[in-house]
Amino acid sequence: MLVILGLFTSFLSILYLTAPSIRKFFAGGVCTTNVQIPGKVVVITGANTGIGKETARELARRGARVYIACRDVLKGESAASEIRADTKNSQVLVRKLDLSDTKSIRAFAEGFLAEEKKLHILINNAGVMMYPYSKTTDGFETHLGVNHLGHFLLTYLLLGRLKESAPARVVNLSSVAHLGGKIRFHDLQGEKRYCSGFAYCHSKLANVLFTRELAKRLQGTGVTAYVVHPGIVMSEIVRHSFLLCLLWRLFSPFFKSTRQGAQTSLHCALAEGLEPLSGKYFSDCKRTWVSPRARNKKTAERLWNVSCELLGIQWE
């Protein structure tokens, strides 16, 4: 028993000593484009922390006017102040957006459209993970409501400005967890059966299907859409699960940093010549495979129609 314990301890020690090399190996792709975007207008949801914050930092560094759209305005102002100091770009602004409340989404969109005449990049970055069963202000299951329906409505409300500003891009953050997802139309709100882990997977599949259908409907408009798996990243998204927080701390030396996690979002927002790949799924700064469920055209169309019904909108 002592021998086994000793071997296990030695294995862990070696693993942690080699962690920097392992982390570098799994760091994934890097956004290599040198494109500068002075004068471009960008909206990023949830950019007060994590991947979104690093995405905002890099786009600000490249000269964009960046809107940090987040629920916690104080955290947003703190992040914006840090980014402004780091990039010497004063055009980093914070606006309140609560994706769990359609009134807040509409108020944000109304304020933004009154303030800005252009929108070149919309990055739907915010999300919740492993959230205990609850419903949004409008009665939607939280993962579905925040991760999918909230961004669905936001994109709908801002799409006219994106078209007017074309060429423009929409980048939706999903996850490899979409592989475990299934759109359960008979129980979208999880009232019959609920598991926080699977609810997250379902919402991430919805992100992929939404992007696919959005790209199809945007053909010829000059607006393109992409969906991203950022990788396994050290961020605050796991804060609602004690077990995941524990695992994240234990294996943190092997996970991507938030800066590394932002690279694929940046690639899809900035890389030149990406237009023919509108609607595709990216990981490590390249197009990659998606599950058969994520390629189902009928499911994508039905989810689109059901989402419009739930939100009370008509989106042709």
Give the active site residues: 200
By DSSP bridging, strand 286-287 and strand 281-283 are antiparallel
> Angle at Cα 256 formed by Cα 152 and Cα 78, nearest 5°?
65
Reduce the DSSP state of residue 287 to 3 states and report it: strand
The candidate with the shortest Cα–Cα distance to 299, out of 202, 201, 185, is 185
CA distance linking residue 217 with residue 233, whole number of Å:
32
For the four alpha carbons of 132, 137, 139 and 142, in that order, the dihedral sign comes to negative
**Please, which residues have CB within 8 angstroms of residue 193's CB and are 6 or more apart in sequence?**
187
88 phi/psi in degrees, rounded to 5: 60, 25
Angle, alpha carbons 11-12-13 (nearest 5°): 90
* Whether the Cβ atoms of residue 151 and residue 99 lie closer than 8 Å to each other: yes
* Tokens 């008509």, located at residue: 314
* Sheet-wide strand order for 286-287: 92-96, 65-70, 41-45, 121-124, 168-173, 223-229, 281-283, 286-287
Are 211 and 279 spatial neighbours (Cβ–Cβ below 8 Å)? Answer: yes
> Residue length, the chain?
316
